[in-house]
Amino acid sequence: MMETARVIWFTGLSGAGKTTLAEKLTAYLKKNGQKCELLDGDTVRNIFPQTGFSKKERDEHVKRMGFLASMLERNGVTVVASFISPYRESRDFVRKMCKNFVEIYVSTSLEVCEKRDVKGLYKKARRGEITSFTGIDDPYEAPLEPEITINTAEETVEKSFEKLLAFLNLN
Ligand SMILES: Nc1ncnc2c1ncn2[C@@H]1O[C@H](COP(=O)(O)OP(=O)(O)O)[C@@H](O)[C@H]1O
Ligand SMILES: [Mg+2]
């Protein structure tokens, strides 16, 4: 395949489906011979656990990852990035830094994400056991002009992935 490197950036609430789709996309690209790296919020936060969830810390985290993504991109590596990245300004900062930036808004509603509660974090946030949780007591600014919007609420992972490949002209 070997296409022009891009930065494919997933944004959306916790549990929206970012990591699920990003992992599948990375595997697909690699299998097809594309140089590709996955940057995932949880992975990065596990390595740097002192990174907090204030606006300032979230912005720094996202902008640093965007800078890294842009460096990989200019060296021919496609980057698949999955971060809640709740603030429009920092996503736009990343967009400006990259050459081929594709913003994928995983628009799955709070209600559905909370029902999934993959990691049990919504329950904790509702109980007040954790604070600054996106969608509960912290903001999420939806993209105004994403390249792609995917709502995973009423379709299988396979169907969403199929749509994603079509949007990206990879099918
Ligand atoms: N169409 C779909 N696309 C992606 N994930 C889906 C879909 N339908 C159901 N899911 C489920 O939703 C959950 C999404 O979790 P995850 O990918 O970890 O979200 P995020 O990384 O956005 O926090 C997974 O358990 C996944 O199996
Ligand atoms: Mg995730």
Task: Give the ligand whose atoms come closest to the C-alpha of residue 159.
Answer: 1
* 1 pLDDT more than 80: no
**Which pLDDT belongs to residue 150?**
97
Cβ–Cβ under 8 Å, residues 59 and 89: yes
End-to-end CA distance of the chain: 11
Chain segment 67-89, per-residue pLDDT in tens:
999 999 999 999 999 999 999 99
Tokens of 158: 């396979």
Cβ–Cβ under 8 Å, residues 7 and 104: no
Please give the positions annotated as active site. 85
Handedness of CA 77, 83, 89, 90 (dihedral sign): negative
**Which pLDDT belongs to residue 114?**
98
**Mind listing the domains of the chain with CATH numbers?**
7-160 (3.40.50.300)
Q: What is the mean pLDDT of the chain?
A: 97
Question: Which atom in ligand 1 lies closest to the alpha carbon of residue 10?
Answer: 22
pTM of the model: 0.98
Task: Give the ligand whose atoms come closest to the C-alpha of residue 118.
Answer: 1
